[in-house]
Amino acid sequence: MEKTSWAGWIKANKALLLAGLVLSATALYLVFDINYEQCDDADNCITIAFEVQDDYLYFGKENPQHLADKMSALTGMDVEIMAVSNSGAIIEAINNGNADIGFVDGAAAWLAWEVYDLDVLAAEWKFDQRTYYNAAAWVKKDSEIADAYLDDDPDTDPFALMNGKTSCHTGWLKSAGMLIPMGYLIGNGYAEVKGDPDEITSLRDTVTNFFNEDSSIPDGGTQYSGYKGAMKCMMTDRGDVALVKDTAYMLYCDENEDGIADGPDWCLDRDELVMLEPFGQAPSHPALYNPSTMNAEMVELIQNALVDMNNDEEGTKILSDVLNTEGMVATNANDHLGTYGAAVENVPGIQAFFED
C-alpha cells in the first residue's frame, strides 16, 4: 500500500518535526541514573534505543539489559542499551544513526515510516499469534450504550450514544486509545472536528466536544494511563467508556474458571461488561531500523536473533518480561503498517503526530 498523500506536508517540514522529537525526547528525563553495559568495539556493536521507565532503576525482570544480553548471545556481537524517555527519542536516535534498532508502538512506527523512511524488521505477536490488535470500546453491561449494542435494533446506535459520555483514553495520541477510535468516529460522522483541521491540538478539542470535558486523557505513568488504567477508569466510574484493545480485560482482569474476575480489586466480572464492535486494527509493536545505515546482512542477523528468541524458555521469558510479548516475527513496514494510515487519516492534525 502506498504511503498517504498528505505525508508530503510532514516531509516538507522535517526540520521542524525533528526539532519537536528532540524536545519531546528531553522533556521528561534529563538524566538516567542507569548504568547499562556499553560496547567496547563500535564495529562489533548493536545499539538498541529503549524507552526506560522509572521502575527499571531497580534492575528487575523488566530491565532491557536482559534483552541486550540475550541478543548478544544470539548474534555473537556486543549489544548495548541506549536509554531514552519516549518513542520520539527512539525515532530520532535511529534516524540519526545513533541507534540501530528500537521498539515502538504501531502509531510511532507508522510516523517513522511516513516521515523518515525508517523500516521495520520484526514485529511482536501476542498469545493468539496476531501481529495486530483490535481497537475497541468497553462499557458496563447496565449502560445505555450496552443496551443499544445488544438489542438488535438498527435504530439504536451505541456509537451515537457515546456523545456526551465520559471517555477513558489510554493516553494522548495512542493508537487503540485515541487515534483509531477518533478516526472512526470522525470518519463515520459521529464526531465533528473542532478547531484547525491541520493542528493536532484540535484533536483534544474534538475529543472533549464529542465526549465531554471530563474525559480522561492521562499522562503516562498516572493511575488511569495505559490499557489497564483506562479499564480501571471505566470500571470505577471515573468514566463511562474505555477505549482500549480487545484483549484488555483478559490481560489485566482475567477470570477464573467460574467466570469471576481474577485481577485487581477494581476489576468487575466479565459478565458485567460489554465490548462493542471494534473500531479497527492497530499494528503490534515493531522493531524499527534505518535502511540507509543498516545493510541487508545485518538486518537478517537481527531478524533471526529476535525470531530465535521464540524457541527457548529463556528467550520467551525475556520477550514477555521486557517487551510484553509472546514472540516476534520477521516482517517489513509495508506489510505491517500499510493499512494504518487509512484508520487514522480523519484525525485532525495527524501530521503533528511527532508530539507523541
What pairing do the DSSP bridges indicate for beta strands 45-51 and 78-84?
A: parallel
107 and 141 housed in the same domain: no
Amino acid at 302: I
Higher pLDDT, 354 or 293: 293
Higher pLDDT, 13 or 94: 94
- Residue 47 within a domain: yes
- Residue 249 within a domain: yes
What distances in angstroms separate CA 171 from CA 144, 217, 347, one per listed residue? 25, 5, 15
How far is the C-alpha of 276 from the C-alpha of 159, rounded, in Å?
9
How far is the C-alpha of 166 from the C-alpha of 184, rounded, in Å?
18
Per-residue pLDDT, 255: 73
Per-residue pLDDT, 188: 95
CATH number at residue 275: 3.40.190.10
Average pLDDT over residues 133-138: 94
288 and 276 housed in the same domain: no
Share above pLDDT 70 across residues of the chain, in percent, rounded to a whole number: 86
How far is the C-alpha of 2 from the C-alpha of 146, rounded, in Å?
38
How far is the C-alpha of 208 from the C-alpha of 219, rounded, in Å?
16
- Residue 148 within a domain: yes
- Residue 217 within a domain: yes
Per-residue pLDDT, 85: 86
Domain containing 144 equals: 132-282
Helix (H/G/I), strand (E/B), else coil: 243: strand
Residue-wise pLDDT tens digits, 186-232: 999 999 999 999 888 899 999 999 999 999 999 888 899 999 999 99
> Is residue 310 over pLDDT 90?
yes
Domain count, the chain: 2
Owner of C-alpha cell 449494542? 149
Average pLDDT over residues 294-299: 97
268 and 298 housed in the same domain: no
Percent of residues in the chain assigned helix, strand, coil, to nearest 5: 45, 15, 40
Per-residue pLDDT, 8: 54
Residue that is last in its domain, among 282, 308, 339: 282
CA 76 remoteness from chain centre: 30
Q: What is the mean pLDDT of the chain?
A: 87
Q: What does the DSSP assignment read for 111-131?
A: HHHHHH--EEEEEEE-TT--S
192 and 318 housed in the same domain: no
What's the count of helices (H) and strands (E) in the chain, helices before strands? 14, 11
Share above pLDDT 90 across residues of the chain, in percent, rounded to a whole number: 65
CA torsion angle 283 285 286 292 (round to 10) = 90
> For residue 352, what pLDDT band results from cuts at 50, 70 and 90?
low
Residue-wise pLDDT tens digits, 160-176: 999 999 999 999 888 89
> Is residue 100 over pLDDT 60?
yes
- Residue 71 within a domain: yes
185 and 55 housed in the same domain: no
> Is residue 279 over pLDDT 70?
yes
Residue that is last in its domain, among 248, 282, 316: 282
24 and 89 housed in the same domain: yes
Backbone dihedral angles phi then psi of residue 133, each to the nearest 5 degrees: -140, 160
170 and 99 housed in the same domain: no
Q: How is residue 345 annotated by DSSP?
A: T
Owner of C-alpha cell 459478565? 271
Residue 177 near residue 221 (C-beta atoms within 8 A): no
Per-residue pLDDT, 32: 39
140 and 275 housed in the same domain: yes
Per-residue pLDDT, 295: 96
Average pLDDT over residues 19-47: 60
> For residue 31, what pLDDT band results from cuts at 50, 70 and 90?
very low
> Is residue 58 over pLDDT 50?
no
Cβ neighbour number for residue 313 with a 10 Å cutoff: 7
Please state whether the predicted TM-score (pTM) of the whole model is above 0.75: no
Average pLDDT over residues 342-355: 74
What pairing do the DSSP bridges indicate for beta strands 280-283 and 132-140?
A: antiparallel
Residue-wise pLDDT tens digits, 312-344: 999 999 999 999 899 999 999 999 998 888 888
- Residue 2 within a domain: no
Per-residue pLDDT, 54: 54
> For residue 354, what pLDDT band results from cuts at 50, 70 and 90?
very low
Per-residue pLDDT, 281: 86
296 and 269 housed in the same domain: no
- Residue 138 within a domain: yes
Higher pLDDT, 52 or 8: 52
- Residue 28 within a domain: yes
210 and 338 housed in the same domain: no
Per-residue pLDDT, 223: 92
Helix (H/G/I), strand (E/B), else coil: 224: coil
Per-residue pLDDT, 34: 52
267 and 314 housed in the same domain: no
92 and 207 housed in the same domain: no
Higher pLDDT, 10 or 138: 138
Higher pLDDT, 180 or 7: 180
How far is the C-alpha of 322 from the C-alpha of 316, rounded, in Å?
10
Residue 244 near residue 179 (C-beta atoms within 8 A): no
Per-residue pLDDT, 133: 87
What distances in angstroms separate CA 57 from CA 78, 103, 215, 219, one per listed residue? 22, 19, 32, 20
Residue-wise pLDDT tens digits, 225-267: 999 999 999 999 999 999 999 999 998 998 776 667 788 999 9
Per-residue pLDDT, 59: 55
CA 201 remoteness from chain centre: 20
Residue that is last in its domain, among 266, 282, 298: 282
